[in-house]
Amino acid sequence: MAQGRPPTMRDVAEHAGVSISTVSRVVNAEKYVDPVTRATVEASVAALGFLRNESARTLRPGQRTATIALVVEDLTNPFSAELAHGVEIVAAASGYVVLLLSTGRDAVGDRDQVREEEIVGELLRRRVDGVLMVPGDDDADGRYAALAERAPIVFVDRLPKGVRGDVVLLDNAGGSRRLTQLLLDRGHRRIAYVGGDRGSGTGAKRYSGFRAALRAAGVREERELLRFNQHSSDEARTATQDLLALPEPPTAVFCDNNRMTVGALLAVHRAHADVVIGGFDAVELAEVLVDRVALATYDPVDVGRQAARLLVERMDGSQAPARRTTVPVVLAEFGD
């Protein structure tokens, strides 16, 4: 624990060797906590001098805070900014303020699970009226289930394994398949793939759409043309440079998100290569690029609006079965 700051729930969790959600249940005097675990947590609370945020206790049971939490992965990604704008439009019209939080990435570029657990713990403690979340891929430790017991929650972009709930999705597989088919229709057969985690919900669906289009066209997938686990535009640029340096380079590159597309475009432009880029997600100023690019795009603002509407309905008492909304994807071509 850093000197000069009060201890947090995360500090207590680390000291006691339990999860942040367990600490939250103990400090909020909830039932169904193992007595030994409760005693361990209480000992850590005393040892560290932890003081819970009492602001939530000033609310009467059932009283609202007029606050919605929006949890995204990357605040620097334009998708997050536009998503938040759509959420704010609906939230403001319904009398809610939006609290924006980011899970970020850890030292190796993966989703920061520790940070996400800390955020969920804080949301459990702060009693927001509802939560919109771009989640991880599963709920193995029950953090989303615990949060859903406290407040309505709507997931965006993916539904974690093991969870039932409202979700707003993109047509990831369908959009990727159509984008790859467009490249195939333009005569390309050596199509590279530059992407992030192919095991994640979104990444897996976009990769599956890419593969499905190749199979349908009778085109063999070339392993030497696949570059996964890229987490930034710089990494995508380096990966694309490697592809362009192959004895038989690709004639087109499929990029599974906007960061990948920007990196690939930089590599192709600097190499003056005759290569077409196909990217999932919008890219700012794509229409003025001199390089050829095709994009599978959608409206992130509309994604935010639709997710926020679902959440407001839940906060207003809707008991409808879990709903799944899919936002359509459209194709656009730019350049020569």
Q: Tens digit of pLDDT for each residue in 162-180?
A: 888 999 999 999 999 999 9
* Percent residues over pLDDT 90 in the chain: 57
User: In Å, how far are 172, 174, 230, 303 from 227, measured between CA atoms?
Assistant: 19, 21, 7, 29
Question: What pTM was estimated for this model as a whole?
Answer: 0.76
Percent of the chain past pLDDT 70, that is, above it, reads: 89
Q: Does the pLDDT at position 124 exceed 60?
A: yes
Mean pLDDT within 288-316:
89
The pLDDT, as a whole number, for residue 87 is 96
Q: How far is CA 317 from CA 126, 130, 151, in A?
A: 20, 12, 11
C-alpha–C-alpha distance, residues 215 and 12, integer Å: 52
State how far the Cα of 7 lies from the Cα of 253, in Å rounded to an integer: 48
- Segment 192-221 shows an average pLDDT of 94
- Give mean pLDDT, residues 219-234: 95
pLDDT at 8 over 60: yes
Evaluate if residue 287 carries a pLDDT over 70: no
The alpha carbon of 107 is separated from its chain's Cα centroid by a whole number of angstroms, namely: 17
Band of residue 289 on the pLDDT scale cut at 50, 70, 90: low
Does the structure show a pLDDT above 60 at 1? no
Sheet of strand 324-327: strand arrangement: 97-102, 67-72, 130-133, 153-156, 166-170, 324-327
Position 64 scores a pLDDT of 66
The pair of structure tokens assigned to 112 is 């920061």
**What's the rounded mean pLDDT across residues 241-252?**
97
Residue 56's pLDDT is 47
